[in-house]
């Protein structure tokens, strides 16, 4: 695979060098040389901007719905979707430090067509666990094996012991049926793996108010899982076609971020935290939003040196906050400048204490859009102007990660 990286401000600032023609339309050798020359020129003249610290990476193989993360050795791990949006496949690649290209793709799902991309929020999510093992979970597509319960399966697969292929996927739903919005997966260094989703148990209240968040736990690195149990301690409902996010920090605390749906209009984003291996969750935060329809939103969690970063959408704006891992106190929500309608936020921190927030604009049902981003300093103050540019494909969203040098990469 040949990942294509380019400085985000290259095309805008290199028009003079290209005589008004974007460099990507010139011979490939010029594409490789011009960005390097331009960056050197900007550095010499002191004209570098904050946007020069953010790079674009195109998802390999023309895939969509990228999910990227970086391990302790600096290797980039990436999953993506390919194929029919109703019945496609998930692929995994990695790129070691200093390696110019991604590895050869490995198909994650053993049943061809068992993944789905429709709705954007139902795609695969990935986590790295004990000894760097890769864990992937996703909503089952129309090509998935038949299941004995109502609705789609919540599928999970893990990398085999030899790191050469994924084990066959398993459906982890027993009682909590009615899978709609996307599920999630988290893993820690102690061998705990968590697969989460929202659904409803037989006999529960009809509609979204009767939905709840469920979790299946593994203590043997994904080899076996417990029967699912309800995670949210209080009845909040769950927004049926909204995604959710799970994340385990370095100390093993588990975070779940999802959208509630009580009384049909209370669609708050709720953060649950467990410091007991996926048991006894506490409600750490709720961001209010009254809306009568499902916004089909996604959420994001990651870790930085100061705590866990959480990102979500409320009323067309995207926000992020920092969760103190000791006290579980949540900072005041921070939104990037501007009034554009925004969706699918991603938030990543670097070793310098800076934060990158990325989101999409113009995306919707069967509609692509564009990506925008904002850098923030240690105190949550916006650095420079909001960056814009880069197309987001239909049913896709974006991912991001921090490089060892403190710069960031946005994956389209």
**Residues contacting 45, CB < 8 A, separation 6+:** none
Structural domain 59-337, CATH architecture: 6 Propeller (2.120)
What pLDDT does residue 93 have? 98
| Beta strand segments in 192-288, E | 193-199, 212-218, 229-230, 245-248, 254-259, 269-274, 282-287
What pLDDT does residue 52 have? 85
| Alpha-carbon span 76 to 312, nearest angstrom | 24
Q: What are the tokens at 336?
A: 């990037």
| Alpha-carbon span 27 to 293, nearest angstrom | 49
Domain boundaries, the chain: 1-48, 59-337
Phi, psi of 5 (to 5 degrees): -115, 145
Tens of pLDDT, residue by residue over 237-286, are 999 999 999 999 999 999 999 999 999 899 999 999 999 999 999 999 99
Q: Which residues of the chain have pLDDT under 50?
A: 1-48
**Residues contacting 374, CB < 8 A, separation 6+:** 336, 337, 356, 357, 382, 383, 386, 387
pTM over 0.85: yes
Task: Render 375-407 in DSSP notation, one character per residue.
Answer: EE-TTS-EEEEEEEEEEE-TT---EEEE-TTS-
CA of 347: how far to CAs of 281, 337, 339, in Å? 23, 15, 19
What pLDDT does residue 219 have? 98
CA of 368: how far to CAs of 67, 79, 391, 398, in Å? 17, 20, 8, 12
| Alpha-carbon span 76 to 69, nearest angstrom | 6
Confirm if 217 and 277 have CB atoms less than 8 A apart: yes
Confirm if 272 and 255 have CB atoms less than 8 A apart: yes
CA of 66: how far to CAs of 46, 79, 91, in Å? 34, 6, 10
């Amino acid at each position: 695979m040949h990942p294509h990286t380019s400085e985000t401000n290259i095309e805008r600032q290199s028009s003079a060098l290209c005589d008004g023609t974007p460099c990507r339309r010139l011979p490939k050798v010029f594409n490789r040389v011009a960005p390097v020359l331009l960056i050197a020129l900007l550095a010499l003249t002191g004209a570098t901007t904050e946007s020069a610290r953010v790079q674009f990476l195109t998802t390999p193989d023309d895939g969509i719905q990228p999910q990227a993360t970086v391990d302790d050795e600096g290797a980039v791990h990436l999953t993506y979707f390919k194929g029919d949006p109703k019945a496609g496949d998930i692929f995994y690649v990695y790129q070691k430090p200093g390696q110019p290209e991604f590895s050869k793709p490995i198909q994650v799902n053993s049943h061809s067509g068992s993944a789905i991309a429709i709705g954007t929020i139902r795609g695969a999510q990935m986590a790295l666990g004990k000894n760097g093992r890769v864990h992937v979970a996703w909503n089952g597509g129309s090509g998935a094996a038949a299941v004995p319960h109502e609705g789609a399966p919540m599928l999970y697969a893990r990398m085999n012991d030899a790191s050469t292929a994924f084990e066959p996927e398993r459906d982890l739903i027993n009682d909590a049926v009615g899978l709609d919005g996307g599920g999630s997966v988290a893993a820690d260094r102690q061998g705990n793996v968590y697969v989460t989703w929202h659904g409803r148990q037989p006999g529960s209240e009809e509609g979204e108010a009767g939905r709840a968040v469920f979790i299946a736990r593994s203590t043997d690195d994904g080899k076996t899982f417990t029967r699912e149990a309800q995670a949210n301690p209080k009845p909040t409902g769950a927004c049926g076609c909204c995604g959710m996010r799970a994340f385990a920090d370095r100390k093993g605390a588990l975070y779940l971020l999802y959208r509630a749906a009580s009384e049909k209009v209370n669609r708050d984003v709720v953060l649950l935290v467990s410091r007991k291996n996926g048991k006894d969750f506490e409600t750490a935060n709720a961001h209010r939003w009254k809306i009568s329809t499902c916004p089909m939103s996604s959420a994001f969690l990651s870790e930085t040196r100061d705590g866990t970063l959480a990102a979500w959408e409320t009323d067309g704006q995207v926000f992020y906050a920092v969760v103190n891992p000791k006290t579980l106190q949540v900072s005041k929500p921070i939104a990037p400048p501007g009034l554009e309608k925004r969706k699918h936020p991603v938030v990543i921190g670097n070793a310098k204490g800076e934060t990158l927030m990325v989101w999409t604009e113009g995306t919707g049902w069967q509609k692509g859009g564009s990506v925008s981003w904002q850098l923030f300093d240690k105190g949550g103050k916006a650095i420079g102007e909001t960056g814009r540019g880069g197309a987001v494909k239909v049913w896709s969203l974006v991912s991001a990660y921090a490089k060892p040098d403190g710069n960031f990469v946005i994956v389209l």
